[in-house]
Structure 1
């Protein structure tokens, strides 16, 4: 603010007895806030805001502190230092919110599509695929990388499942074909009632 403007603001803010309107303060956007004597209520002052002539009326924004003063929520008008601290606080909050959004976006979400794993290899020549298995004599023998179909057939012959554990028979296999398997309801034949 230029020294001439600051002198003019100081002169307008003096509460001289012949004045009807007093300047209370200004905000960082250039709006000025005024008090004037209410004609209907002699002991009360009315509060208004005059927008900067450089700003269109639709673009005028009043800060929350000045809005509280206009609505008589706070008795004292906010100072320039208070408004600057509020502006710094808002910038700090926006920065922290941006950092929190970045941290949140970097974490995997349960809503994301799961990553597809490659299907298991049916045939491999890698050394990690070659395993040792006990033979019929109880000695371990190395098995070469062979086809998974041959392995499945060999496990079926030994009575083992795909994991190599003992195969358990399905108990529901015995229940198939019981006496109630072919049962059908008879047609309804009502009897004659006696009177």
Structure 2
């Protein structure tokens, strides 16, 4: 490009420097080339020694505030103070996540140490409860997996007065209403009278 052409393009389309991010990338805004003056062209010029491929490959990222400004989601460009505050917030989040993860690891290790003792207690309790259930099933007949939870409901209903039991127990959404038919019915539309006569 010749020197005169570069000078002419600078005069006709001036570049406005908007700001930088914390890594040294520079952001520019060009005036709109269309009739809509609100839709300006916003670009980033990466810091020296860095290529756009570092950002595309995911090795580095532009700050979210600048990305939203580049895509016209954000009207005003972010300030350096805002970027520094966001960087500090990210550090706090990572520190808090590390603290929580360390606490969870300690708790898991403590549970693994105490685990065999507690599981033996739980196994003994589970065996006694399963023995009671199997003895009850042997007396009542073959097991019915659908109705396993119903005896406890029936016991609570019989112990309460009938009116209060109905008020406290919600209607089951899976229980069919009495007299309900699951057969499809033919459609018979009603005729509509139109006109004024």
Structure having the larger proportion of residues in helix: 2
Higher-Rg structure is 1
Structure having the larger proportion of residues in strand: 1
